[in-house]
Structures are given as structure tokens and as C-alpha cells.
Structure 1
Amino acid sequence: MKQTGKSFVAAFALALVPPIGLAQAVTLEMPFPAVPSVDKTEALSSYALPLGAYADGEVPIRTVEGPLRQTAWRIDAAGATTLEVLAPLRAQLTTAGFTPVFECDSAACGGFDFRYATQILPEPEMHVDLGDYRFYAAERGEEVVSLIVSRTAAAGFVQMIHVGGPVSAAPLLTTSTKTPEDTALPAKVATGVDPTPFGERLISGGAVALEDLEFASGASTLSEGPFASLTMLADWLRQNPAVTVALVGHTDASGGLEGNIALSRQRAEAVRQVLISAEGIPAARVAAQGVGYLAPRSTNLTEDGRDKNRRVEVIVTSTPIPPAQDSQ
């Protein structure tokens, strides 16, 4: 049975799911019932560990090499703050001998810029509210661990990256028998197709990719429409006149970073102009930004992967969000 609110948080505060295994017998226990969304392991890889907030156009990093494990959880913790989720995990790392390297929260991290300059899994595996997230990094000898925690009104989200030490043979992500039955893996993770209505995904999940838009490599011009995703977005914006959104452009990794950031912003602006001119959405309700190739959702080593990385996503920027409506 689904429960929400502070009473739910208190009721499940001690109902710990099975541990997340780290190397050298370290485990982390989630402070709330949780469901895994992804578990990626690489025998040898590198990770740009953030060492400070975004400033002067970049995030200071230290490159760490070794076995890498990247995991994410969706946490059934309606009403819990990001600190309520992070604090118990941070304390467990300290107890296990990890020393803090860097910690920040949303605006202090650098908001939008820090989030998109940091290695984070794409939606729906990991959701990051640009105005409500926390980052924490710690080290133990040659090992490093980073955590990023965010939330929606209905759930919390945790991503952990662990580099160094032997890769555990046991799965990091297992479903607890204490986890409510209705918190099964999202349909998109299980089937590859997300049946959730467009507006509901925007409100509860964060960024939504406008999948049917087409951009050639190196070009900012949209192919000829119509595009069903833009029609759904425009309909939803008309039904929710208090909501504002941002369009975020992404590119593949062909070319330099500055050029790709400019290109991705131009792509987002091209989509914005369609919403304004063809759909009649007020210009003040739609912003356009670009992050270049800093947030890939697939490999840039293949044409198919590069094609997936060329995209425009939409995020809701209204705070707070009025009651959601949806178009079918």
C-alpha cells in the first residue's frame, strides 16, 4: 500500500533495505525502502571526481582510475529532504574510514553548471532537481566514492560512483522484501517504453527528452515536422499556464566543447522558436540552454550512440509546481 508524507518517512526510517556493497567489505544501507534503477560496472575506467563548486567556467576535478561501479536508486521517501537521505549514507562512509573530499548543495555547487559538468546517469535512471540536490565525495586510500542525492515531491534519488579496490562480485542493487510492492522498477527501465503521460513525467521525473526531434551532426536546424513531442509539450503548457520550462540542448562529442555548447544552445533555441511561433507559447515561459556533450546518454564511439546524444530535453523550472494536468 502506498503511503506518503512525514508519517510515512517516520514509519520506514528504520526499515533498511539490503546493503549496497562496496569493495573491501564496506556496505551502505539505504535509510528508506529503495528500488534499483541501474548498476553499471567497468573493470578499468577513469572518473573525473569533483573537488569544488563550478567557478570560472569549470568544475575542479581529480581524475581517478580503477574499477568503477555506478549505481542509482529510486527511494520511496515522500517528504524527506535531500539531507535526510544523504546524512545516514555520509555517516556510514565516515564509519568505514572514508575521509570527506568535497560537499555542496545545489546553488552552492553551481546549480545547473555543476550538475551538467558532473558524471550523472540520465533520466529516468537518475533525476536531479537543479534547485534541490546535494553532492558528497570521500576517499579512503586509493578508493573514492561520490554520492549525489535529489528528489521529486514523490520520491528520492541517489547515485553512487565508487572507483578503486576490487569490484564486488555480488550485485550492488537488490530489491528489499521490506520495500512496498508498488515500488517496482519503472516501466521504461523494464520494457524500454515509458507509458507515463507526458506531463506526469515532467512533474515527477525531471528532464524529458523530445525524442522525435531530428538534428544532423553539426547542424542547429530542425528537420521538417510536425513533431508529436512538441505538440504534446505545447498542449500541456496551455493547460498549465503558470508553468515555465527550459529546453536543454545536447550534442555528440564531435568537435570542441565551446563549439558544442554553442551548437546545443542554438538547437534548444530552434525548438523554442517553434513553440513560440507555431504553437503560440509566450516567450517568457520558455528558456533555452545548451550543455554540449557534457551529459551523454549513450556512447560517442558509434554513430547510433552519437545520434542518441544529439537531443533536446525539457525541464520544468517553476517552483513550486501547481497541480498537474495532462494532455492525452
Structure 2
Amino acid sequence: MNSMIGTYGRIAVLAFALAAAVAAPAVAADIKGAKDYPGIKRYEGASIVVYSTQKFTRYILPLGPADEVEAGDKPVFTGSKEVSGALTRLSYTVPAGISSDDVFENYRNELAAKGYTVLFKADGDAIGKRQDAIFSGIGTQLFDFSTEAAHFLTAELAKDGATVDVVLYVTEFEDGYTPGIEVEKGQAIVQLDVIESGVLQDKMVTVSAAEIGKGLAAQGHIALYGITFDFAKAELKPNSRPALDQVAQFLKDDPAMKIHVVGHTDNVGGTETNMTLSRARAAAVVAALVTQYGVSANRLNPAGVGPLAPVAPNDSDEDRAKNRRVELIPQ
């Protein structure tokens, strides 16, 4: 009798476990190597179906509708700004039966709770006549033909010297070629692009005064990546200050040293344009060292070689970033 009770008990436990497994929500099945961007939670039960990262890129941040496209089917927004930094791209599918309205509101609340400021928001047709082109570069047509139930926003968070920009697009799948992705018509889908700039770049580029001296002694030149400028401009960005501090300290420690300050660019744009730009950037560095740090102008010679002395191929964003630099060379 006890044996039979034990058997019935085990059967009951097994049946309960099976029922619980059926009732429990499915665990998100992400593609290999994918992970959420830290600090931004996914919608419950969602799966990452497309994932990519870049250490550095330039990104056009939408601040208005996408009503036109240019060469290469790139969207043109009525308002936008360029940002640069590390890019994380995440495409999610949400469990069937949940509306894009619900998913979008959850993301809005999540971003608001984290302190993000919304820069642009639109729904449906207000996202633009060519919203189909906004995410056409992710390697699938998951979002290209699913515009009617769409919601879009751009948001920004500035904190502790870093800036995080978010581009969020939530809609319901309608049609498109989606190899390797299981998605049903009407299923909510999410595209999340996150661009992080500031501290992330500063951590790998600041060179100390002592390291400048060692580099010049050993190699005859040293590249500085912590001196930064906006795209196609020669005004020093505020995050250049730590690098300039170290250059000034090096010159103070070695008062007899005279240096060439040489600007370098990538090959985006014409050669003459980049030559002019590189010279202007070198001159901006010299001006800052003279006016802000009291370095004698006769110790500094600004020069620019544009794209003519690359240290990497100009065929990727990461390598082009290596070519954009300021070098110091003893006179």
C-alpha cells in the first residue's frame, strides 16, 4: 500500500511539474553571443534575433521624420544630429499576442525611469514616408515592411562625462524576408540602437606626460587620440582637456623641448578639404596650449597632413578612427 501511495505521489508531482512547465512563459531564446544593453531591460519574454556591436562609429541621430532617402538607400531626416561612439544594435521579437502599443509604452517608462530625455517621438505615418529605410541595414527585412503599427523615439542620457543616445522602433511584423528568424504576422518586434560616447573613448586615449616623453624618445613621434573634434570641424571638444593637460605638463617638465603639432584625418571627403581641416585642427591645439596653459608659441609649430599618413586602412569605422589623430614630433 505504501508503495502504491508513493507511486501515485510521484505521478502527481510529475503531472504538476508538467502542467507548470506548460503554463510558464517561454524563456527568451537569444542568438549566440547576444546580450541586452546594460541598464535597458527588454520586454518580458522577448528574444534577441539580431545583434551587433561596433567599438566606434558615426551615427545620424533622427530628430525628425524620415521623408527621403539618398544614395545607398540611406534615410534623410527632416531634423538630425551626428553622434559618435560605441554602437550596440539589438533586434527583438516579442511573444505573440502582445501589441506594439504595450511594448512601446513599457520601453518609454523604462527610459523615463532611467532619466533619459526624449528628443523626438512619432507614431505611424508621422515617422516619415521612408521609415522603411531607417533600419534597412541590419541584414534582414524584419522592419522594412511593417510600418502601420510603428512607434519611434530618440532619447538621450548625459551622466558622469558620458552620453548615451537611444533610437527605439517598435512595430508589428507585416512582411519581409527574415532568414533564420521565427516571426509571425502581427507579432511585436523591437529595434534598439544604443550609441555611447564620452567616457568610453576617453578611457583608451589619454596619454600621460611621462608616456609622451618616452614615446618621443623611443619612436620620434607619438599619436594622441584624446584630442577630439566634431565631424568636419576644428573646434576642440571639451573632452580634449585631459589630453591637453598632459601635453602641457610634458612641455613644462622639458622646457627646452620644441614640437611639431601635426593633424591627421581619415579619407572621408576630398584630399584638399582634409588637408585644410588637419592644419586647422593642429592650429587649434597650438592656440589652446598657448592661451590656456601659457606655453610659448615659438615652441610649437602647427602642421597638417590630412589623410596622407594613415596608420590603418580607411575601409571601416574602427580603422578610420585610428587615422584621426594629433601627433607630436620633436623639432
Instruction: Tell me whether the two structures share a fold, i.e. TM-score over 0.5.
Output: no
Q: Structure 1 length normalisation: TM-score?
A: 0.36
Q: Structure 2 length normalisation: TM-score?
A: 0.36
Structure with the larger helix share:
2
